[in-house]
Copies of this chain bind each other. A is one copy, B any other.
Amino acid sequence: MQTLDEVDYVSGRTRVFGIVGHPIAQVRSPEMFTAEFRRRGVDAILVPLHVLPEDFALVLPQLQRLQNLGGLVFTIPYKAQACALAEVLGGQAQAVGAINALARAADGRWRADIFDGLGCVEAFRRRQIPLAGKRVLLMGAGGAGSAIAAAVARERPASLAIYDVDPARAGALAVKVGATHAAAATVENVDVLMNATPVGMLDDARLPIAASTFPRGLVVFDAIVKPETTPLLALARSCGCVTVGGREMMLGQISKMVDFFYGS
């Protein structure tokens, strides 16, 4: 029953999920996860939970005692620290050393994994762009880059090369996921170019690669969500390249995370 005195999207039976971060106002998960719950006909909502760094270790284990809490999403600065809350760590989380989803499983145990990279792969799957057999260059070996590298490595690309402004960081990640370390960012002999650096975010007009044109057959991916069309994606489109954006990765990730929250 919806009347003027009641809303129809939350009740005593609604399962509650949260996104934990600091700061919190900028997160997009509440509106996006809740939309995905609705699309699936699930009575659930995801709300922002602003936890200060000095409170994290005390607050989180108590939040886990809320009986109708279905799970938590973690964002900056908690993705590594949150690993300690899980009883079972998924393969991606083990490879990356961080989580972004913690789910109360049907058996009552807390399972965790990280879905940034799986979201990237899911975005390619939805667009029917295969990664198997392709030569991939990934730029950026930070948090997002690590997760994307771990997920892409599982897709059996012909090769996965990782570039980072910090060669040691790129090298360490390459070893971890069985990839190679690219000394420079160039699209020569590359089928798929992926950006996981922050270059091009918000008002940053720079490209993450020294290039003025791309071959038409190159597929270009950018993990950046804002703006939707980064300078990199704008250049790629102007060259006729197929592009995949951060919002697609985010939607793919949310879908995978809701699967995870609901045990599929």
Contact = CB atoms under 8 A, between A and B. Distances in A.
B31 A11 contact: yes
Copies in the complex: 2
Nearest to A47: B16
A58 to B, nearest CB: 6
A45 B13 contact: no
Nearest to A27: B12
Interface string A33-54: 0110011000001111111100
Interface stretch (A60-68, A157-165, A213-221): A60-68
Interface in A12-33: 12-14, 16, 19, 24-32
Interface stretch (A2-10, A100-108, A188-196, A201-209): A2-10
A48 B12 contact: yes
B45 A31 contact: no
A16 B58 contact: no
A181 to B, nearest CB: 36
A129 interface: no
Contacts of A48: 10-14, 16, 68
Contact of A65 (B9, B28, B52, B67): B52
Contacts of A58: 62, 65
A169 to B, nearest CB: 29
Contacts of A55: 62, 65
B7 A9 contact: yes
B31 A8 contact: yes
B47 A30 contact: no
A62 to B, nearest CB: 4
A172 interface: no
A213 B12 CA distance: 38
Contacts of A39: 4
A251 interface: yes
A183 interface: no
A14 to B, nearest CB: 6
A43 to B, nearest CB: 11
Most buried by B among A9, A11, A29, A51: A11
